[in-house]
Amino acid sequence: MEKKRVVITGIGPITAVGTGKRQLWDSILHRRSNVSRQEHYIDEELWGGFHIAKVSDFRLEDFGFSSAAVRVFKECQENGSRDLIYMLSSCKLALDDSRLVYDRDDNDIGLALTCENPGIDDFICRIIENTIEIIEGRAPALPDLTKIEFIQRLYERFQKKVYNLQTFMYLHQVSRVLGLHGESLFINNACASGLFALEAASRMIRSGRTKTVVVAGADDPSFMTKYLWFKKLGIYSEDGVMRPFDRNRNGLVFGEGGGAIVIEDFAHAQSRGARIYAEYLGGGFTQDAWKVTVPSMTTNFYAKAFRQALDCAGLGAEEIELINPHGAATGIGDKYEALTINEVFGSHRPLITAFKPYTGHNLGGCALVELIILLLAMGEGIVPATLNHTTPDPDMKIEIVKEHLTRSIRIAAKMSCGFGGYNAVALFKKIQ
C-alpha cells in the first residue's frame, strides 16, 4: 500500500516580531528583532533582569474566540499560564489560515501539543511571593502557624494551579476551546519537541485514523528561575544579541510566543482545494543518552538522525537546498550542528540560515515557530539572512546566509537538538 502523503495547509505564528504570518514575514524581510531588558522584583526588591524577545500588541479580541473560549482564557490568566494562551491563539490562527470547515461537535481532528515548561516557572515565582507574604504576616487573617499549617496554607492557595500544571490539562483546554475530538498527544522532547510532535501527528494520518491534525508548541520563558539556570550554564547572552555560528557568539536569548500548523492527508487537502505550504517528507530522530546539557560530540547521533530523515524521504544529501539549523548561538551547540552538517554533506554546500535572532529561543515551541518561517521562505522564494552573523567562525567550516537571497527552494531541512540529547531532522518539499 502506498504511504499516505502529509502536507501542511495552515500556519499560526505568535512571536516577538509579529502575530500572524503577514506581520512575521514583514519583520523577517525588514530584519527586525524585538529584544528588550526586563527586570524582576520580589516584594519591590530587585531580583535581577535579563534580555528577552517579548510579544507585543497581543490582544485576544483580534482572534475571534467564542465566549466559552474567553472564559477559558480568564482561567488561564488567573493561573498565569501565558504559554497556554499563546498555544490556543496560535492554533486558532493556523485553523483559520487552513480554511478548514469542521463540525465542532463531531470530528476526528487530532491534536499534538508541546510545551517545555508548562506553567512551572510562573508557579515557582508565585510560591516564592506567597511564602514571603505568609512569613511576613501580610496574608489575610494570619494566625501563628505550625509547619504543617504553613504548608497547608500554601497548598490551599495553589491546589488548582498544581492540578492545571498537568500536561493533559493543556490538551483538554485546547480541545475544548477549538472543538477537536480526535486522538491527542502531549510531547516534550525539550527544544526538539516541535519536530517530534510533527512526526507523531503525521503517523496519525498515515495510519488512517484521521485526515487532519493540529500541531502546536508554545513557551513563556520570561521568568528569572529559567534564566538563572541558563546563566549558570554559561549559555545566555548577557548583551541580548544572538550570534549563531559567529566567532563571537555568547549564548541565546529567550523569546515568548508559539507556533501551530495544520497538517492533512494530501488527498483530503486536494479534495477541498486547500492551499499547501509544503509536503512533510519525513524525519529522523535519535537520542544521545549521554548528558542533559551537553551533546555527545564523538558519537554524533545528530548526523544519524539526518541520515534517517534522508532515508525516510528517499533523498540524497545533494538534493537538500536549504537547511534551517537549531542555531542557538551557544559555543558547543553550534559546533555540534556544524560538525553534523559537514559529516552528512561533505563537499555539497546547501544554504544555511538560522532564525532565532528574529524571534528569540522559544524553547518547546521553537522548532514549529522556525518551521513556519522556513515554509514562508519556501513559498516566497526568499532565503532570509541570519541576523548578527558578522564574523564567521573558521572552525565551523560552513557558510551562513548573511543577506536575503532570492532563491527558489524545492527541498529544505529543519534541524533541532535539545537538552537531554534529543536530535531531530525533518524534510519538506514544495509542491509545484
Mean pLDDT confidence for 96-121: 94
Expressed in angstroms, the distance from the first to the final Cα of the chain is 24
Domains of the chain: 6-119+165-429 (3.40.47.10), 122-164 (no CATH)
Count the residues in the chain.
432
At residue 195, the pLDDT reads 98
Find the range with the poorest average confidence among 69-73, 178-182, 394-398.
69-73
Q: How confident is the model at residue 79 (pLDDT cuts 50, 70, 90)?
A: low
At residue 137, the pLDDT reads 64
Residue 115 near residue 189 (C-beta atoms within 8 A) = no
Q: Quick check: is 76 catalytic?
A: no
Whose CA is closest to 424, among 376, 373, 364, 383? 364
Catalytic residue (one of 191, 312, 366, 417): 191
Q: Is the pLDDT of residue 403 over 60?
A: yes
pLDDT per residue over 29-64, tens digit each?
Answer: 999 999 999 999 887 889 999 999 999 888 877 888
Residue 168 near residue 108 (C-beta atoms within 8 A) = no
Mean pLDDT confidence for 413-429: 97
pLDDT per residue over 174-215, tens digit each?
Answer: 999 999 999 999 999 999 999 999 999 999 999 999 999 999
Residue with the bigger pLDDT between 199 and 124: it is 199
Q: Is the pLDDT of residue 80 over 70?
A: no
Q: How confident is the model at residue 124 (pLDDT cuts 50, 70, 90)?
A: confident
Q: How confident is the model at residue 78 (pLDDT cuts 50, 70, 90)?
A: low
Residue 366 near residue 324 (C-beta atoms within 8 A) = no
At residue 140, the pLDDT reads 57
Catalytic residue (one of 51, 91, 115, 361): 361
Q: Which three cell numbers stand for residue 137?
A: 504576616
Q: If you average pLDDT over every residue of the chain, what do you get?
A: 92
At residue 148, the pLDDT reads 83
Q: Which pTM was predicted?
A: 0.94
Mean pLDDT confidence for 410-415: 98
Find the range with the poorest average confidence among 223-227, 339-343, 379-383.
223-227
At residue 1, the pLDDT reads 59
Mean pLDDT confidence for 114-140: 77
Q: Quick check: is 389 catalytic?
A: no
Q: Quick check: is 361 catalytic?
A: yes
At residue 317, the pLDDT reads 97
Q: Is the pLDDT of residue 166 over 80?
A: yes
Catalytic residue (one of 91, 326, 366, 417): 326
